[in-house]
Amino acid sequence: MEYYAIRGGIPLSGEIDIAGAKNAALPILASAIMTNDTVIVENVPDVSDIRAILSAISSIGGHVEAVDRHTYKINGSPIKDEPVTDELVQKIRGSYYLIGALLGKYHHAEVVLPKGCAIGLRPIDQHVKGFRALGADIRIAHGMIIAEAKELTGSHIYLDVVSVGATINIMMAAALAKGNTTIENAAKEPHVVDLANFLNSMGARIRGAGTDVIRIRGVQSLHSTEYSIIPDQIEAGTYMFAAAATRGDVTIRNVIPKHLESLTSKLKEVGCQVEESDDAVRVAATRRLSNTHVKTLPYPGFPTDMQPQITVLLGLANGTSIVTESIFESRFKYVDELTRMGAQIKVEGNTAIIDGVDHFTGTRIIAPDLRAGAALVIAALAAEGRSDIHDIRYIERGYEDFPEKLRALGADIRRVDDDDAPGRAVIRRVG
Ligand code: EPZ
């Protein structure tokens, strides 16, 4: 199994480019099969979650062609009415977007129930409520979710909780329903807007994405398009916080600064210098940062996917900080690992009380999920001495070339494969 060996204490410096947004690419690739025409999608990140959704599309007969590392041609016309059982797909949360896409196009979908990162209970009742409102019959049998409809008809849907996944799934199915659909209390994340723009470029009629009321006028069919995915807000944020935690100076390019506002404002508040230009943001920290309080919220609030990263940063800040997680109920599992690096953090329910320490010290740590794994890499980059981070497969679900990009910023990080020679670790230099 591979792990990252990191020697910490080096301030990151330089410039990096951000990849396309994983959480936009997942629904965009899934909905590319909603037309019989060929769709070209650019700026697709090369990460394992994306490879999984592409493999699922191929497994049901869809044509997937890699034009280059980040560009795909998708053609859904050969898709047969087959269940999506692909083993890889169950591991990714975004696989449930195939339900909305297949239900919208074929009025029938059978998709293995998704798991995704273990960050708490992740019900899909709001997705089900939306599909039922559009006229679908939904049942769960043998680990599969089965959605069927004679006809999909537009409806008025009020979401009980702001859900990114439910908003996206309902939007996809409603795009090809008869009549008008309104989604109230909709999620406003940039990837919700990106999917709406993508579907509109295929002929859908979706208005209001990015506000909490989305109106969809169903159309009979969708057509070909060429579309480029927005930059990944969370990948960008992760490098911004890595720059701050290591007291470095990093320019993060190919971003939409507006999507990063909740992050830039917190970084400024704790004493970082942040400079924004049209499509880049520079983060520099020259001294120990100060404490603050943070609560995760749906967009435009502070994202839950950046909660572990800010906890790491505040773990090194001066004074006591409080981080409240309001989206997922068990997203502090990584705190035990951080404590072993010397952090002083007490978790009470959904709140972490952080007494900042002067420095962390390196040790062997395990990544419990994608974002927590990335946050532990930041902790290791800032720590004194060596850290080995295991279970990096979680991290590589969502970060393209993570060690390579960090090395380009001066970090000492290597991918080590201890399977190559039993009993002996082989160190491969990367980047
Ligand atoms: C998406 O998950 C992202 N995943 C997550 O990113 C992200 O953390 C999350 O949105 C919040 O921003 C993908 O886009 C693939 P939700 P999703 O539905 O859609 C509750 C990452 O690291 N809820 O917005 O699953 C739910 O329990 C991942 O990239 C219901 O109660 O999240 C949670 O408390 C991790 N019923 C809240 O809503 C439902 O039917 C928000 O969940 C659906 C959700």
Question: What are the tens digits of pLDDT across the range 119-145?
Answer: 455 789 999 999 999 999 999 888 889
Atom of ligand 1 nearest to the CA of 168: 19
- Measure 164 CA to ligand 1 centroid, in angstroms: 6
Using CB distances shorter than 6 Å, the residues near ligand 1 are 23, 26, 93-94, 117, 121-127, 161, 163-166, 187, 304-305, 327-328, 370-371, 398
What are 216's two structure tokens?
């969809």
Displacement of CA 188 from its chain's centroid (Å): 15
Burial 28-53 (b: 16+ CB within 10 A, else e): bbbbbbbbebbbbbebbbebbbbebb
**How far is 4 from 401, CA to CA, in rounded Å?**
12
Q: Give the pLDDT confidence of 156-208 residue by residue, as tens digits.
A: 999 999 999 999 999 999 999 999 999 999 999 999 999 999 999 999 999 99
279-295 confidence digits (pLDDT tens): 999 999 999 999 999 99
Structural contact between residues 244 and 214, judged by C-beta atoms closer than 8 angstroms: no
Task: Determine which of 330-339, 389-398, 400-409, 418-427 has the lowest per-residue pLDDT on average.
Answer: 418-427
Q: Whose CA is nearest to atom 7 of ligand 1?
A: 305
Is residue 272 flagged as an active site residue? no
The type of residue at 240 is M
Mutate to test the pocket of ligand 1, among 28, 93, 172, 333 (most ligand atoms within 8 A of CB): 93
Ligand 1: centre distance to CA 93 (Å) = 9
Please state, in angstroms and rounded to a whole number, the distance separating the CA atoms of residues 408 and 375.
Answer: 18
Count of other CB atoms within 10 angstroms of residue 106? 18
Q: Give the residue among 402, 413, 313, 389 at the shortest CA–CA distance from 354.
A: 313
Q: Residue 262: what residue type?
A: S
Q: Which residue, among 293, 275, 227, has the nearest Cα to 35 in the 3D structure? A: 227
pLDDT at 121: 57
Instruction: Provide the CA 94 distance to its chain's centre, in angstroms.
Output: 9
- List the residue whose alpha carbon is closest to atom 5 of ligand 1: 305
Contact 169, 100 (CB under 8 A): yes
* Tokens read off for 287: 């001294």
Assess contact for 62 and 74: CB atoms under 8 A. Answer: yes
Question: Quick one: which H or E segment has residue 346?
Answer: strand 344-348
Q: Which atom of ligand 1 is nearest to the CA of 303?
A: 12
Question: Nearest CA to 62 among 82, 89, 42, 91?
Answer: 82
* Model pLDDT, residue 82: 78
Determine the residue of 327, 334, 402 to mutate for testing ligand 1's pocket, defined as the one with the most ligand atoms within 8 A of the Cβ atom: 327
Give the closest residue to 370 by CA, choosing from 30, 21, 2, 92. Answer: 92
Given a cut of 70, whether residue 429 has pLDDT beyond it is: no
Cα(135) to ligand 1 centroid in Å equals 24
Catalytic pick among 28, 64, 74, 117: 117
pLDDT of residue 83: 85
Cα separation, 209 vs 186, in Å, equals: 8
Tell me 356's DSSP state.
Answer: -
What's the pLDDT tens digit per position in 239-298?
Answer: 999 999 999 999 999 999 999 999 999 999 999 999 999 999 999 999 999 999 999 999
Nearest ligand 1 atom, CA 371: 22
Q: Report which ligand 1 atom has the smallest distance to the Cα of 121.
A: 27
pLDDT score at 116: 57
Q: For residue 424, is pLDDT > 60?
A: no
339 alpha carbon – ligand 1 mean position (Å)? 27
pLDDT at 90: 76
